[in-house]
Amino acid sequence: MADDVFKALADPTRRRILDELAERSGQPLFEICARLTTKRGLGLSRQGISQHLAVLEAAGLVRTRREGRYKFHDLNTEPLERMVTRWLRPDAPENTP
């Protein structure tokens, strides 16, 4: 799982998507695209953003939920919290063999 997180974080576009979701979680795809274009000057297609979101979701960094016709994307910090705990608190119960 950690390898998936590192792979997902390696791409600057995916980090920008996570920045957007950190500012405002629960966005549908069209809103993420609009905000990335207007606020960050990123000109990717909806399909391109959707593919990046799929990588982030596979890594567990983004959760999706459906409401009616819309699919909302929420930031999930749990994988990052586990990694930070692993290195900053090596004596934590979840890190002991």
Q: Where are the domains positioned within the chain?
A: 2-95
How far apart, in whole angstroms, are the C-alpha atoms of residue 32 and residue 41? 12
pLDDT at position 96: 55
pLDDT tens digits, 56-89: 999 999 999 999 999 999 999 999 998 888 888 7
Name the CATH topology of 2-95: Arc Repressor Mutant, subunit A (1.10.10)
Comparison of pLDDT for 12 and 86, the residue scoring more: 12
Comparison of pLDDT for 3 and 63, the residue scoring more: 63
pTM equals 0.85
Whole-number percent of the chain with pLDDT over 70: 93
